[in-house]
Amino acid sequence: MKKRAIGWVAIVSAMVVWVGCSGGSSSSKKPSAPTTPTIQSITPVTGFGGVFATIIGTNFEAGATVLIGPSAASPITLISVTEISLTIPPGSPGPADVVVTNPGGLSATLPGGFTYYPPSGGTFSAVPVLIGLNFPVSMAFAPDWATTDRIFFTERATGSVRIIQGGALLPQPFVTVTVQSTPGNERGLLGITFDPDYSSNSYVYIFYDLPGGSVTQRVERWEDVGNTGMNPFTLIDNLPSNAWNHNGGNLAFGPDGMLYVTLGEDAVPSQSSSFTVYPGKMLRMDRDGNPLTDNPWYDAAMPGSPQNHFFAMGLRNSFDMAFHPLTGELYASENGPGVNDELNVIRSGDHYGWDGARQSGPRSTPGFVDPVDWWPSTVAVTGVAFNVGYRYPESFVGDIFVGAWNNSVVYRTDLAPPNYTYDRSNRVSMITVPGGGITDVVAGPDGFLYVSTSSAIYRIEYN
């Protein structure tokens, strides 16, 4: 009986299987399971509304929808299961996610896959960030700006580093140092920059003139502890500053992670060519102030010699410098002696032509490097910055912007990809900023350019 029962069960099971098989043709009519698409790329990746684009991926289905940011593309064309064509819908400047959704509801996202740029033909405006300030000289956005919304700037005459947070000036300075500064001169608290490894060390660097019978200059490092500078450390000290002008004082970290410092020639032109004194040079050092062994005139047999810090020479008074974010080239502004203000590309070991002959502008003299641009009528060029944001037309990406003290103009020069070579014939006057002469121009992490004057900070907007 036991064996017979097992046999009967086997027979019944076989019948069930047979019945299931007989329904095979009906199972093929059941709707297929939803498929999940993938997105590999969108071309082009930048532009503005109305641009024709192609999305490449997998498992695209008829009836799929496409979102570029919050905007739906319509109509779209399914070329194949791996390709969709569409026209980019209008959108606000900035990165936008690309989302493809199949009719079954499954979707794929390419985060920030398309970046909107405003069309050309708009107008520029200087929108006040804060006015009524006490002579801001240099600005620097905190590396954690995305979460703290902080802009640091130096007050030349007071010796205070101030912080703008959330559009308001914090009542307490980040730090205040005692400086040599009198009305009408260029001495005081000048440059400021953040360490490339700020997220781990919180270092902030400043440059200032110290008071005394013989005025000197110092590069100093502070730790940012809750908006207060702590634990000062001197990188380099006793830099001579006998004149009230030509003090240099700008700071910037290069792509190599090293600190670069501009020094004016202290109103003595011949010092720019001397290997025994600091003035009139561009210095390069590590974050503790030590000279680099690959500096062009480094000599291990001469420890303590000024030339060990030199990166370039022959400078009169570079008010500002900035590294091109796409090429790494170092540009520095340079004021002339009443004629031929300059813009130079600074390279290791070069001499930029300022010496006892007191000639600025192109000289075409062997051993000297001519500027890439010059202003025959003195405008007193100061701030230098580059645009890599999306707040201006796409053609502005990689362009250089230079501010001027005498006429409050921001100049723009188109640097065309892929090499971004400077051509002075491409320079135009972009905007005149109110509120006095321009002291600095900085590219903000939000994509806008920011300009400081003798009494205010402005954001340059484009509409």
- Would you list the domain boundaries of the chain? 38-116, 124-462
pLDDT at 47 > cutoff 70: yes
Whether the predicted pLDDT of 227 surpasses 50:
yes
Q: 0.95 cut: is pTM over it?
A: no
pLDDT at residue 15, rounded to an integer: 39
Read off the pLDDT of residues 237-261 as tens digits, 9 standing for 90 and up.
Answer: 999 988 888 999 999 999 999 999 9
Residue 34 pLDDT grade (very low, low, confident, very high; cuts 50, 70, 90): confident
Average pLDDT estimate for 432-440 = 93
d(CA 332, CA 282): 10
Q: How far is CA 33 from the centre of its chain?
A: 48
Percent of residues, the chain, with pLDDT higher than 90: 88
Give the architecture-level CATH label for domain 38-116.
Sandwich (2.60)
Q: Which residues, 6 or more positions from 208, have their beta carbon under 8 angstroms from its beta carbon?
A: 159, 177, 179, 188, 189, 190, 217, 218, 220, 249
Region 100-109: mean pLDDT is 97
What per-residue confidence (pLDDT) applies to 31? 63
Q: Say what the pLDDT of residue 22 is.
A: 41
- Answer yes or no: is pLDDT of 333 > 90: yes
155-194, pLDDT tens digit by residue? 999 999 999 999 999 999 999 999 998 887 899 999 999 9
Question: What value does the mean pLDDT take over residues 351-364?
Answer: 95
pLDDT for 91 beyond 80: yes
| Arithmetic mean of pLDDT, 295-299 | 98
Q: Is the pLDDT of residue 29 over 60?
A: no
CATH for 124-462? Answer: 2.120.10.30
pLDDT score for 213 = 81
* Residue type at 147 in one-letter notation: T
The reported pLDDT for the residue numbered 244 is 87
